[in-house]
Amino acid sequence: MLSSQHDWFSEWYQAEGVALSWTVESHLAHEITDYQTIDIYKTTHWGNLMVIDGCVMLTSRDNFLYHEMLTHPALFTHPNPEDVLIIGGGDCGTLKEVLAHPTVASCTQVEIDEQVTRLSEKFFPELCERNQDPRAHLLFEDGLAYIQGLSPGSVDIIIVDSTDPIGPAEGLFGPQFVQDCYRALSDGGILVQQSESPLLHLPLIEGIRQNMSQAGFSDMATLGFPQPSYPSGWWSATLAIKSGALSEPDPARFNAAGLTTRYYNPKVHVGALATQLGLIERGKDSS
């Protein structure tokens, strides 16, 4: 909500008794689409702020944490990622990071709400700088139906860059969707799903991992990372590999790729792999 008495935008997370607030200078955009309500604010310290249905999606200041950790662990684990699929990801930050990898021959982004992308092009142009890359294919349709229509074994990596599991994104957290992803992935293919806060949403993470295990994935890892603009300041991405094991990254390969990252590097990747096991075990102990 935006207070009329003070120039603040606040997101209230009633279930856990916490709220986050930003001081704002102006309300840049308000769009009601067939799927959701999108607002863009200009903040005093965090750049532009995107809000969907009252929930913060990203800020100019800290989105790199999320986008780098959603993409690079998977792409540096897969031996030769050529065909990548993004479900959601309408702000195009994930697409930008995927296309930084020289091995990627094609990246298809399937976003149900075109206005998310159009508003991002206007207010977050730094995230959309690779939208015209010839390897980029932007589709605006239902990701659930798109996955079902893929040929078996046709994709190397699937990244689910979705909103919270409500509204248009609810089906992306269900077991049937994960099974469809498993079928679409090639041998050794990797599924990545944004998996909310390890501090606030452990039951959801456990459900995601259960869906992946039941679908047939051979190994999983839930990687935590800081995300100041999301509830609790701690977020996660869960990876699952179709066959084999999720290996640690090769620093030489990272250096050879020539990527410019602000948070991700092989040491961060290894540290996230090391801490995720304790996270899951603590979750079991507290349940």
- Tokens 């689409």 belong to residue: 33
Region 69-86: mean pLDDT is 98
Q: What is the mean pLDDT of the chain?
A: 91
* Cβ atoms 77, 192 nearer than 8 A: no
CATH class, range 63-286: alpha beta
Q: Do 8-59 and 63-286 agree at the fold level?
A: no
Both tokens assigned to 57: 């999606």
User: Given this model, what pLDDT does residue 275 score?
Assistant: 79
- Helix (H) / strand (E) element for 144: namely helix 143-148
Tell the CATH superfamily of the 8-59 domain: Spermidine synthase, tetramerisation domain (2.30.140.10)
- pLDDT tens for 213-224 read 999 999 999 999
Note the pTM of the prediction, 2 decimals. 0.92
User: Given this model, what pLDDT does residue 287 score?
Assistant: 42
The domain limits of the chain are 8-59, 63-286
DSSP 180: H
Show the DSSP H helices in the chain as ranges.
Answer: 63-75, 93-98, 114-123, 143-148, 175-184, 202-215, 251-257, 266-286
**CA R_g for the chain:** 18
Using 50, 70 and 90 to split pLDDT, how confident is the model at 279?
low
* Beta-bridge partners for 196: none
Region 237-256: mean pLDDT is 96
Please say if 53 is a catalytic residue.
Answer: no
Catalytic residue among 62, 91, 156, 161: 161
By mean pLDDT, which of 63-67, 75-79, 84-88, 170-174 is the weakest? 170-174
